Structure 1
Amino acid sequence: MTFNIKQIPKQEGRIAIVTGANSGLGYETARGLATTGMKIIMACRNAEKGKNAINAIKKDTPEADLELMTIDLGNLQSVREFADNYEKKYKRLDLLINNAGIMIPPFSKTKDGFESQIGVNYFSHFLLTNLLFPLLQKTEGSRIVSLSSIAHKKGKIDFENLNAEKRYSRMEAYQQSKLACLMFAIELQRKIDDSGKKVLSVAAHPGVSGTNLPRFIPRVLYTLAWPFMLFMAHSPEKAALPTLMAALDSDVKGGAYYGPQGFNDMKGAPGLAQPEPHAMDKDVAKKLWKISEELTGKKFTIAPA
């Protein structure tokens, strides 16, 4: 299976939301989608950075249809306001790209008391998807793409320490958050299938790339790792291809997972990836889903077809 965004049919009239679209993978994803003629909602926390990203994309693609809408994924009220503002303005949603994320920061909590990584990377996207799902259901051919990571391979959903109540490990919290994103994508597709709806929920990961995600790595370690990064990583532009493939390729099936096909899934051409067996655990996924509804304060309703 090969993927070339230049061969994708024009997407005029369709609308995509990309969270974290002002930098890194989100920026490259928005830039790629913009070349198809699709309208892109740049969902960014920082308005100034979002405007700069729009200007940069328009230099490459002057005809790009881009709109900035602010959202703070560290605050569930901001997520609710974003969804409400979007629904007031638009009556369709073709693509929701749950891209934004943070990686191994010092311990902190979101506005709602979540450990920052699981709060930003997972809980806020769970709620955003929940709030926008009625529009996705009404839009023919709609998809949700949730960003995971090769870090999910060592991840564990620790229900006894979900928000680092007992202890905090930067990497374990990151691994947990990205496992949660992958399990959510898969469980959502199970529930969609049970409902008879035709929305696709898929997941993707970028492999290893030189984005700003690792900015919390100590400078000395980052310097030592740089030669390895040059050899094993690929550019953000290439790292965004699995997301674009999951979003646009005509052969995509619900519940699938996409990533680079090279050594240890770190870089290479995009294609189908294999989740670790623990990411497919239905009991854990159902428990996580229930807790996510409780903690975000909204039941996720999928109306039958």
Structure 2
Amino acid sequence: RTILACRSRERGQAAVEEIQRATGNPNVLLRIVDISNMASVRRFAKQIQQEEKRLDILVNNAGVTGLPFSITSEGLEQTFATNYLGPFLLTNLLLDTMKGSAPARIVNVSSFRHVGGMVNVKHLAGEERPKNFDQCYSSTKLMNILFTNELARRLQATGVTANSLNPGIVRTEIMRHFNWLIRLLFSIASIFFTSAEEGAASTIYCAVSEEVADITGKYFDSDCRLVLPSAAARDPGLERKLWEESERLTGLTESGRM
């Protein structure tokens, strides 16, 4: 039984039907969630808890770039809410279900671009702006790794693992929010990129490979190899600082419950 969480019902349903045709598995379900909206995330998590007895694998793969600087109705910066805070909240809300399903795995999709990121907690609520789109996106991907590392530490001895990964340079629609010239250049260059199917290799590897069953708090590259992320992504002080601020902004208590 697989659940696909998506913001767009039309796109999500098309993806569900494609997966069902390719796998022959009819138990692929669509659930709607706006990952940038914490209220929507809470509703989605509650629905999953009510409908599902088990949750063996959770893959967080939300990623946008090129959005104009914008503050959501909940007081969060749009890109940081989508790429980082929404997945942070969702994961924490589903932890009890995953612990009850152990062994279970959490997989957070980051990017090689994390090396250009920085951790400024004032970016999360838009109190300060990143220099540009590139720094904004890169910073969210750095935060994905820091979050994963701290999560893995907190989940020790629970039977739930957490790892992050770089899928590589993948041919997707991620540049759709940029102007036409950048989209054109990206489209031309994309002939050298990997396909979406090939780009999913490291995600699938972390989610189901027996070789990763006992590995946690690590970072994998697009060839499914264990590698070291940037020095900033391995800073325990940053991990704790980011976690505490993320708890505050998403309304989590120390126990991880709302």
> Which residue pairs with 2:189 in the alignment?
228
**TM-aligned CA distance change 1:114 to 1:159, over 3 Å:** same
Give aligned pairs, total: 254
Counterpart of 1:182 in structure 2: which amino acid? I
Paired residue type of 2:135: E
Q: TM-score, normalised by structure 2?
A: 0.92
Alignment of 1:55-134 (within 5 A): 55-134=17-96
Counterparts of 1:1-305 in structure 2, within 5 Å, are 39-168=1-130, 169-193=132-156, 196-231=157-192, 233-252=193-212, 253-260=215-222, 269-301=223-255
Deviation at 1:226, TM superposition (A): 4.0
Residue deviations 1:128-147, cap 9 Å, x none? 01110001111121010111
Partner Cα distance (1:102, 1:95) in 2 = 23
Cα distance in 2, alignment partners of residues 45 and 129 from structure 1: 17
Q: 1:22-71: per-residue Cα shift (whole Å, max 9, x none)?
A: xxxxxxxxxxxxxxxxx110111112221111112222222342011111
Separation in 1, partners of 2:143, 2:86:
12
Distance 1:226 1:55, change over 3 A: closer
Matched-pair identity in %:
34
- Partner of 2:225, secondary structure, is strand
Inter-partner Cα distance in structure 2 for 1:126 and 1:294 = 12
- Paired with 2:145 and 2:89, the residues of 1 have a C-alpha distance of 15
Q: Say if 1:289 and 1:217 are closer, same or farther in 2 by CA, change over 3 A.
A: same
User: What is the Cα deviation at residue 242 of structure 1?
Assistant: 0.6
Structure 1's 300 and 235: CA in aligned 2 closer, same or farther, altered over 3 A? farther
Contact 1:243–1:258 (CA under 8 A) maintained in structure 2: no
Q: What's the secondary structure of 1:130's corresponding residue?
A: helix
Gapped regions of structure 2 (runs ≥ 5) = none
Root mean square deviation of aligned Cα = 1.8
Structure 1 stretches of 4+ moved >6 Å: none
Letter in 2 for 1:286: R
